[in-house]
Structures are given as C-alpha cells and as structure tokens.
Amino acid sequence: LTTGALIAQMLVDPVGLILRWYDELQVAQVSLARLVGVRDIEPGAGDAALVPDGRRVRAERVRFGYREGVDVLRTVSLEVAPGTRMALVGPSGAGKSTLGRLLAGIYAPRDGRVTLGDAELSRMAAERVREHVALVNQEHHVFVGSLRDNLRLARADAGDAELWAALGAVDADGWARALDDGLDTEVGSGGLPLTPAQAQQVALARLVLADPHTLVLDEATSLLDPRAARHLERSLARVLDGRTVVAIAHRLHTAHDADVIAVVENGRISELGSHDELVAANGAYAALWRSWHG
Ligand code: ATP
C-alpha cells in the first residue's frame, strides 16, 4: 500500500484496514516463509468467489517442504469427516504442525491438494478460508487496542451483547465485567496486562465470534499453571464442541479419545485408526502409549 492509498482506505474503510492488518498478522509465519522462498498463500490472492460446498477436509497426496529439495511431508493423504476429531501424534519434528498448517490453508502444498468440500484451499482467498477453518495456537493473542477492538477482529459488526456472550462462552465474563472500563479497557502492550490465560480466553472468544466449522488446534506446551490450564481446557472443550477438529497432540493423553489418530513419522502417515485399533495393531502408537503409561 502507498501512503496515499493507505490514507484513502483509512477514511473510507477503517475496519477493513484493521482486518487487513489482522490478516497480515495471521500470516506472519507465511511472510517468514516467503523470505526463504516458499510458495505460500498470500492474503488478497485467490478466488474470493470460491466458496466450498461441503465441509470434509481432505489432503490428497500432499508433498511439502519449507525449502525446495527438503521435503517435510511426503505423499500424505487423509480425510477428516465433518464433526469428528482427529489427533496428529508422532515424534518431535515429524511434521505434525506443518501438516496442521496445510490443513488450515496457511501453506499450499508443493504437490497434491488440500480440499475443503469441493474447493481447493490454495485456490480460495485467504480471508474466505478463515471463515471456515481456523488455526488455533498460542501465538499473538492480544493486539494493542480496547478489549472490544480485540474481539471485533473476528467479526467487525458484532454488537456488545454478542461480545459479552462470546466472553461468557469461554468463562471470561467474570474478570471482564470486573474491569472498570469494561469492553473499552485498553489491552495489549501499554494497556492492561492480561494474564496468559486471559489472553487465551480472548483468542477463544474471537473463535466463538468467527464461528469456523473446522479448527486446527496446535496444543503447544502450555505455560499456564495447572489450575488455569484446567479452567482453560474446559472453555476450549466448549468451543470445540460440534466442530471438526484436527488436534496436533504434543501430549498423548489429549489424543487417545479422538475419533481417529494419525501417527506422523518422518513426513508420512504411518498409522491411522482409533486408540483401540492402534493399540491392538501393536505398532508405533502402541509403543508410544506403553512408554507414556510406563
Ligand atoms: P513438534 O512436535 O516438535 O512440534 P512437529 O511434528 O510438529 O514437531 P514440525 O514443526 O511440523 O514438526 O516440523 C517438521 C520439520 O519442519 C522440522 O524439521 C522443522 O525444523 C521444520 N520446520 C518447521 N517449521 C518450519 C518453518 N517455519 N520454516 C522452516 N522449517 C520449518
């Protein structure tokens, strides 16, 4: 954007401009990838009219690497049925988070395709993709601005009643109602310092407002104390309820009740099945489970 265009846009469409920034923050990881020459999905690119029919998420013979010639995923195929929960497990560095980013449309595969219903994610506009699929992790949760601004990033037209309902849905209305300035409270750097748990609740409330039907959840090792973590897990469980979930499980206990567990090893899916099936198959998952239990 040139300065003139920026000012013009600020005058006619300030909310759109903020949303555009938000898009750029969301794809910060992608920009980093651009520096190292990866083909990625740029905000604003793609076919804005392409709306998927159907909610099934599918990876078809997907190959991907951050650098040309170094494959992180090779010939990965899988399918996540609407309303079900899939857990990705496997050793560190196997490619779980990378696969999650491809399923969320953050990166485009080098070969093969990732589809949502009948639409290929990499051909859809990034902002369209995010209406359907969201990537949830523990990064960049609070931006400079009021609590209201932070929530409205998810839906610019949401009224205060909806914002409070979203905060209530993630058990954040208690502390938020105790704030002197309520939704006008400035948060982010320079504003009210939110605890890590509160910041994550704000991010979850944004999810409730955005209401995507599919979530890719990167369960990064939590920095929270056990009590806050349990509280947040309950809020998260409510947000996940009824949605399609792909959970990148860094801890096995969050994986075992998934409908399907995919074991990722060395950029490939080596096993696929329910906990009971995989334990009975006595392969890599069973070994992981035994060592975790032992
Ligand atoms: P963990 O459980 O430790 O998070 P993971 O199975 O999720 O591991 P990935 O994070 O997908 O594995 O990493 C797979 C490979 O890709 C690793 O070799 C990692 O170093 C590399 N990698 C991951 N992210 C990037 C990136 N943004 N740029 C370049 N290489 C990356």
For 2-15, the pLDDT digits (tens) are 555 555 555 555 55
Nearest-angstrom CA–CA distance, 202 and 173: 10
Q: What pLDDT score does 157 carry?
A: 92
pTM comes to 0.82
- Indicate if ligand 1 lies below 6 Å from the C-beta of 235: no
Q: What pLDDT score does 143 carry?
A: 83
Q: What pLDDT score does 256 carry?
A: 87
Residue nearest to atom 3 of ligand 1 (CA): 92
Q: What pLDDT score does 234 carry?
A: 87
Could you state, in chain order, the average pLDDT of each consecutive group of 10 residues for the chain (294 residues)?
52 54 45 37 66 88 94 96 95 94 93 94 87 80 87 92 96 94 91 87 91 88 74 87 92 85 97 96 93 78
- Indicate if ligand 1 lies below 6 Å from the C-beta of 250: yes
Residue nearest to atom 16 of ligand 1 (CA): 72
Pairing label, strands 85-89, 133-136: unpaired
3-state SS assignment for residue 188? coil
84: which DSSP letter?
-
Torsion angle, alpha carbons of 260, 264, 265, 267, to 10: 140
Pairing label, strands 186-187, 119-120: unpaired
Backbone angles phi, psi at 147, to 5 degrees: -60, -40
Number of Cβ within 10 Å of residue 117's Cβ equals: 14
Q: What pLDDT score does 38 carry?
A: 38
Whether residue 29 contacts residue 104, with contact meaning beta carbons closer than 8 Å, is answered with no
Nearest-angstrom CA–CA distance, 132 and 127: 9
Q: 141, 129, 153: which is closest to 50 by C-alpha?
A: 129
